[in-house]
Amino acid sequence: MLIREAQLRGDTLVSLARQLGVSYRRFAQWHNASADIRAARPETFTNAAGYLQLPRITVLAYAGVLTLQDLAHPQPLARDVYLHREMEEIRKDPAIGPFMPPSLSQVPWEVQTFVAFLYHENRSSDAPERANWFRELQEAMTVAYHDAQPPAQGDK
């Protein structure tokens, strides 16, 4: 990406290295993968961001310093606390809680995360056109349950 930008600008690789604040030798090592760019000084990433006109976080992601996992998954303890709260919220929901299997708290965190995602997607009040299938299912089951019950002795 840096080399392509340098070519577009008409900059030499020596000039590019200077603008990044590193020697040409260090830049060549990164280019040839004989040195790990993730070990670069923080200001090198800042300089690269300025050169590319990109947010620094984007440059860190391209360099492999910042990974998607850093952004997507909280630390295990925080993740576990978060998922516990999410599972409790679902359990207390009058429409969905009765359908929640007790064993859901024992499944891997990835499954719990997926369930929490689906729960929040379904509850989205921003999309009223989206069918609330959990509520419809609950209503259907309630009607089916009542229809399956024998009439009370006084209701004949």
Task: For residue 129, give the DSSP letter.
Answer: T
Q: pTM for the whole thing?
A: 0.47
pLDDT tens digits for range 3-61: 999 999 999 999 999 999 999 999 999 999 999 999 999 999 999 999 999 988 888 88
pLDDT attached to residue 95: 82
Would you give the distance in Å from CA 32 to the centre of its chain? 32
Phi, psi of 72 (to 5 degrees): -95, -30
8 A C-beta contact, residue 116 and residue 83:
yes
Domains, the chain, ordered by start:
2-68 (1.10.260), 76-149 (no CATH)
How far apart CA 33 and CA 41 sit, in angstroms, is: 17
Cα dist. 101→88, 96, 137, 145 in Å?
12, 10, 16, 19
Cα dist. 113→5, 17, 38, 78, 86 in Å?
39, 43, 30, 13, 9
pLDDT tens digits for range 78-103: 778 888 898 999 999 888 888 899 89
